[in-house]
Each structure stands twice: as C-alpha cells, then as structure tokens.
Structure 1
Amino acid sequence: MKTFKSIIYASIFAFISIIFIASCSDNDDPVIPQTGNVKATYRIVGSSGVNITSIVFYENNTIATRSGNFGAEWTSHEVENDGIHTMINATASGPSDQSTLKAQILIDGKVVKESPVSQGKILVTSLSLY
C-alpha cells in the first residue's frame, strides 16, 4: 500500500512539474493586444524594380498620407493607434506582370501580420491588424 501511494504522489508531482515547465516556456512571439493602444511599425515591400508611389496609414488614430517615389521598400517609424485604426494601404507600379507588393505590420520588430501578395504592373496592398 505504501508503494502504491508513493507511485501516486510521484505521478502527481511529475504532472505538476510538466505543467509548470510548459507554462514557463520562452515564447518570443509578440503579443497582439486585443484592446487598447497598439505601438506598431508598418512596412511595404516590393520586388525588384517596384516603385511605391502612395501610402495611407493611421498614426495617432488619424489618417496620414505619403506620396512620392519610395522605391521597392518603405518602413514607417513606430506609430501608436487603437487596435481598429492600425491599418495601412499602398499603391505601386512594377516593371512586369511578375512584380509583387505586400504590406506588413510589426510589433516589437517582429512581423505579426502580412497581407497577401499583390502581383502585376499596377500593385495595391492593404492590411489591418484586426
């Protein structure tokens, strides 16, 4: 009977230890807040030869626009918005039908969301956090 109790106690201790170790795992993935303000960086990435010409995004919950010739990649400074206003749109032109463009939202330097790839000579991408 003593042996049986020892096995039960050892099993319970092992189970609790496994749960404790699993809950302490090192997870470096950024957490996307479900409410409140979000500090994020926007990135637009095009393939070789793409020229990003127009960018519209939210900064401090208000619309910000940029137009010009930004080349194949553009990155914002860190902006703060509430979650529903964390969004970006961009247009670009590419040299061929195989040209691509995508948008990314980064939190703590890590991509947390990425748009589907737009492909063609006229490129449009849009992305929101939620």
Structure 2
Amino acid sequence: MKKSKIQQIIQYTLVVLVTAVLLGFSTSCSNDDDDDAPARQSHKVVFKATASAGSNIDVAVYGYDSTITTASSLSGTTWTSPEITTPAGAVNANIGVNATGSSSSSTLKVQIYVDGELKKEGTSSGQILSASANYTF
C-alpha cells in the first residue's frame, strides 16, 4: 500500500513533534534539596492504540524521557507495544499515533498503562487521525 504525500507529511510531523515533546519533558531538576521526596522506582509501561472500524493505524512513536521507539508500517485498528520497564529515574511516558480513518466520524484513542493501571488517554477524530498522551511518573 503506497502512502499519499499528506500521510507522509503527517507521519514525519508526528515523529518530529513527539521527539521534541519527549526531549522537552525529559529534563528534570537535579538540585532538589527535598529529602522527604519518595524514592523513584522503575515502572512497567504498555502503550495501546485503538481506532474505529474501517480505520488503519499507520505509525506509533512511544517511549519514556528521551528513549523513543518508532513502530512504522502498521495496519489494522488496534496496536499494543511490548511492555517496557523504565529505569528508576524516568520522568515521563509518551505516545503519539497516526491513523487514517474511513470517514470524518472516525476515532483514534491512545492509552498509557503504568504497572497494569490505565494512567492517561488521548483521542482524535476525523479522517486524518493523530492522538497523543503524556504521563508524568
């Protein structure tokens, strides 16, 4: 299946946008003097995307902090990432997904699960679908 020029532009834009967001959120304060702060711990994270019937998921960009994975050449209405174990110092989990809807009423939902619990969702609707979500540990 050959991608249209618009789909290629949207895919490229999503990758650049999510990368910029991930790099921007990955900075943290290292001079905190708060000794009462809870110890950071590692987390098990799973990312999911679900599109309405007749839609097609194209690409997913996901990860934590500046550790990013791109899953391209996807197809179908559902996608689930492999489980990722974040290091104890991780700050954010992020996902961005592009899909093509079958009509202007098509929908796309992305979800971030942390330690088996749904923590964040993002949605999009229309024929050109792009949904993202960010969760801070």
| Residues 79 and 59 of structure 1, relative CA distance in 2, 3 Å threshold | farther
| Residues 61 and 38 of structure 1, relative CA distance in 2, 3 Å threshold | farther
How well do the aligned residues superpose, as a CA RMSD in angstroms? 2.3
- TM-score normalised by the chain length of structure 2: 0.62
Percentage identity across aligned positions? 36
Q: Which residue of 1 aligns with 2:124?
A: 118
Cα distance per residue 1:42-93 (max 9 Å; x no partner): 0011111111101111168511101113211101121123543311111000
Segments of 5+ residues of structure 1 without an aligned counterpart are 1-32
- Quick check: 1:37–1:80 contact (8 Å CA) kept in 2? yes
- 3-state SS in 1 of match to 2:68: strand
Which of 37-46 and 51-60 deviates more? 51-60
1:44 corresponds to 2:52? no
Q: Which residue of 1 aligns with 2:76?
A: 71
- TM-score normalised by the chain length of structure 1: 0.65
1:87 corresponds to 2:87? no
Segments of 5+ residues of structure 2 without an aligned counterpart are 1-37
Rg larger for = 1
User: How many residues align structurally?
Assistant: 97
1:107 corresponds to 2:114? yes
CA distance in 2 between partners of 1:92 and 1:37 (Å): 31
CA distance in 2 between partners of 1:97 and 1:83 (Å): 38
- 3-state SS in 1 of match to 2:91: helix
CA distance in 1 between partners of 2:45 and 2:82 (Å): 8
